[in-house]
């Protein structure tokens, strides 16, 4: 069976590694991005992967874009919800915009893309949805009430949708990455990051490719019995 994947936030960081891993697995990939045209174009030229610009937090834009991707490449039967932003700050300093932006993109994005892609997966009788959560959605993190709430929401969303998708051949799983060597983590103040890394038993940040490896596993045709699960890839930082 041939497959088409949409990877949101798929041109940089963890998303870039996921897009490349899926392409290497023989999947036709559409990589979404929201802002950085220059990096998206460079990514596309380097990898030969098609890029699509839209805001995953915008319901109508997502509907239109997934329809376009399906016209261009075929039915999207693999969806990887990876797009995410941080707007860190303690509750006392966090204004409503920082709360809402993170909820809209990180959690709302999962609803918007699944809502648009699910009907065609149902019709095909096959689908793979992987939502990228976070260790900080499992364990919480100082300065991240917005991000932790959104990521924790992703884990609940995953388990609920897995129950709905099962009878249509659609699996829905989550990955909970720990601290991965990306621009997002590089933005954490150095003194704070040092303390975090000191608590990772493996003794280092993760690599984007180590998350992509998990996505390749969960999106494979022979992973049909794995659904509603959360795969923690965090160097042992949080075990449960
Ligand atoms: N636990 C308890 N107290 C803490 C703390 C912690 N983890 N971190 C900071 N504090 C304390 C500080 O010691 C300080 O106390 P004092 O005033 O008594 O000195 C107080 O809280 C204020 O701390 P800051 O000066 O750091 O406050 P700030 O407002 O300047 O910054 C912050 C707060 C933005 C949260 C900053 O600490 C920060 O960026 N932390 C990192 C947050 C983080 O891990 N983000 C992850 C981003 S990557 C990601 O999210 C990917 C993923 O999925 C893993």
Domain spans in the chain, listed from the N-terminal domain onward: 4-232
Q: Quick one: pLDDT at residue 49?
A: 98
Averaged pLDDT for residues 112-141: 98
The interaxial angle of helices 59-73 and 109-124, nearest 10 deg, is 40
pTM, 2 dp? 0.96
Where does the pLDDT of residue 172 fall: very low under 50, low under 70, confident under 90, or very high at 90 and above?
A: very high
Q: Is the pLDDT of residue 240 over 80?
A: no
- Span from the CA of 192 to the centroid of ligand 1 (angstroms): 7
Cα separation, 111 vs 169, whole angstroms = 19
pLDDT digits (tens, 9 = 90+) for 23-43: 999 999 999 999 989 999 999
Average pLDDT in the chain: 97
The interaxial angle of helices 13-24 and 37-47, nearest 10 deg, is 20
135 close to ligand 1 (CB < 6 Angstrom): yes
For 63-88, b/e burial (b = at least 16 CB within 10 A) is: bebbeebbeebebbbbbbbbbbbbbb
- Span from the CA of 158 to the centroid of ligand 1 (angstroms): 28
Cα separation, 4 vs 48, whole angstroms = 14
Q: Is the pLDDT of residue 73 over 90?
A: yes
**Element (H or E) spanning 4, and its range?**
strand 4-7
The fold of 4-232 is Rossmann fold (3.40.50)
- Strands (E) in 22-126, as ranges, are 28-33, 50-53, 76-81
Q: Which of 9, 88, 198 has most ligand 1 atoms within 8 Å of CB, for mutation?
A: 88
Cα separation, 72 vs 175, whole angstroms = 28
Sheet holding 230-233, edge to edge: 50-53, 28-33, 4-7, 76-81, 127-132, 170-177, 230-233
Nearest CA to ligand 1 atom 42: 143
- Span from the CA of 217 to the centroid of ligand 1 (angstroms): 34
Q: Quick one: pLDDT at residue 32?
A: 98
Q: What positions carry a catalytic annotation?
A: 147
Averaged pLDDT for residues 50-65: 98
- Span from the CA of 144 to the centroid of ligand 1 (angstroms): 8
Averaged pLDDT for residues 75-92: 98
142 close to ligand 1 (CB < 6 Angstrom): yes
144 close to ligand 1 (CB < 6 Angstrom): yes
pLDDT digits (tens, 9 = 90+) for 205-216: 999 999 999 999
Distance of CA 172 to the CA centre of its chain: 12
**CB atoms closer than 10 angstroms to residue 197:** 17
143 close to ligand 1 (CB < 6 Angstrom): yes
- Span from the CA of 117 to the centroid of ligand 1 (angstroms): 37
Q: Phi and psi dihedrals of 199, rounded to 5?
A: -95, 5
147 close to ligand 1 (CB < 6 Angstrom): yes
126 close to ligand 1 (CB < 6 Angstrom): no
Q: Quick one: pLDDT at residue 136?
A: 98
89 close to ligand 1 (CB < 6 Angstrom): yes
């Amino acid at each position: 069976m041939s497959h088409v994947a949409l990877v949101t936030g798929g041109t940089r960081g963890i998303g870039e590694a996921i897009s490349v891993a899926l392409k290497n697995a023989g999947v036709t990939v559409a990589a979404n991005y929201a802002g950085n045209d220059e990096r998206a174009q460079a990514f596309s030229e380097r990898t030969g992967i098609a890029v699509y610009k839209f805001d995953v937090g915008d319901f109508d834009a997502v509907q239109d874009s997934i329809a376009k991707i399906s016209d261009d490449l075929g039915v999207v039967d693999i969806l990887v919800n990876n797009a995410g932003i941080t707007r860190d700050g303690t509750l006392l300093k966090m204004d409503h915009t920082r709360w809402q932006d993170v909820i809209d993109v990180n959690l709302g994005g999962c609803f918007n893309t699944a809502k648009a892609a699910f009907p065609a997966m149902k019709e095909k009788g096959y689908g793979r949805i992987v939502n990228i959560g976070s260790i900080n959605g499992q364990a919480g993190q100082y300065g991240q009430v917005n991000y932790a709430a959104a990521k924790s929401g992703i884990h609940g969303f995953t388990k609920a949708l897995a129950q709905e998708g099962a009878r249509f051949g659609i699996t829905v799983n989550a990955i909970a990455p720990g601290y991965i060597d990306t621009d997002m983590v590089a933005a954490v103040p150095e003194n704070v990051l040092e303390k975090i890394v000191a608590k990772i038993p493996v003794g280092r940040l993760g690599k984007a490719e180590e998350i992509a490896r998990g996505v390749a596993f969960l999106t494979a045709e022979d992973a049909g019995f794995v659904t509603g699960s959360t795969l923690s890839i965090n160097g042992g930082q949080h075990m449960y």
